[in-house]
């Protein structure tokens, strides 16, 4: 079973919305969303 972090899920979602291979745009959108507080970065305790 693969566990994805909230950042990985965010990046996957943004990747589907931007042109294929435009990693710079994905990074810009992700950092803006995180900075603006739209995305809460959840930390999951690992046992």
Q: Write the pLDDT tens digit of every residue in 1-47.
A: 667 778 888 889 999 999 888 989 998 988 888 888 776 666 666 66
Largest CA distance in the chain: 38
Residues in the chain: 47
CA distances in angstroms from 3 to 6, 21, 28, 29, 31, listed in the order given: 10, 24, 24, 23, 21
Sequence-ordered list of residues with C-beta below 8 angstroms from that of 6, at least 6 positions apart, any chain: 39, 40, 41, 42
Which pLDDT does position 28 carry in this prediction?
Answer: 92
Which pLDDT does position 30 carry in this prediction?
Answer: 86
């Amino acid at each position: 079973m693969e566990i994805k972090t909230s950042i990985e899920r965010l990046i996957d979602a943004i990747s589907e919305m931007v042109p294929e291979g435009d990693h710079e745009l994905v990074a810009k959108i992700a950092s803006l969303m995180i900075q603006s507080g739209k995305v809460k970065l959840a930390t999951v305790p690992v046992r």
